[in-house]
Amino acid sequence: MDRLSARYIVRIPLNKLRLGFSDVTMLDALSWMLAGDKSLRATLEDAYHVRPDIGYIARTVKAEGIQGIAHVRATVGVPIL
């Protein structure tokens, strides 16, 4: 095994393997999916600050569109940012 491969093999069990994107990148992607630009990022980011679960936000947007974001509420056990 070469050095580069060994580096990544070691990072997997150490949970240090970074994917190179953040939740903000995902919010931008959702905005692009809905509007074709970043115009909805502020709305999505507001919902993310109430419920910081990017999976939940994405499922809501996919199922209900941007209108579904208005129904995002804080949940017990999930911190508010």
Q: Answer yes or no: is 51 within a domain.
A: yes
Q: Answer yes or no: is 3 within a domain.
A: no
Q: Answer yes or no: is 11 within a domain.
A: no
Residues 18, 40, 34, 67, CA torsion sign: positive
Q: Answer yes or no: is 53 within a domain.
A: yes
Q: Is the pLDDT at 63 greater than 90, yes or no? A: yes
Number of domains in the chain: 1
| Spatial contact of 81 and 49, defined as CB atoms under 8 Å apart | yes
Determine the structural domain holding residue 74 and report its residue range: 20-81
Task: Tell me the per-residue pLDDT of 43-62, one tens digit each, with 9 for 90 and over.
Answer: 999 999 999 889 999 999 99
Q: Answer yes or no: is 42 within a domain.
A: yes
Q: Answer yes or no: is 1 within a domain.
A: no
Distance (Å, whole) CA 11 – CA 54: 24
Q: Answer yes or no: is 5 within a domain.
A: no
Q: Answer yes or no: is 2 within a domain.
A: no
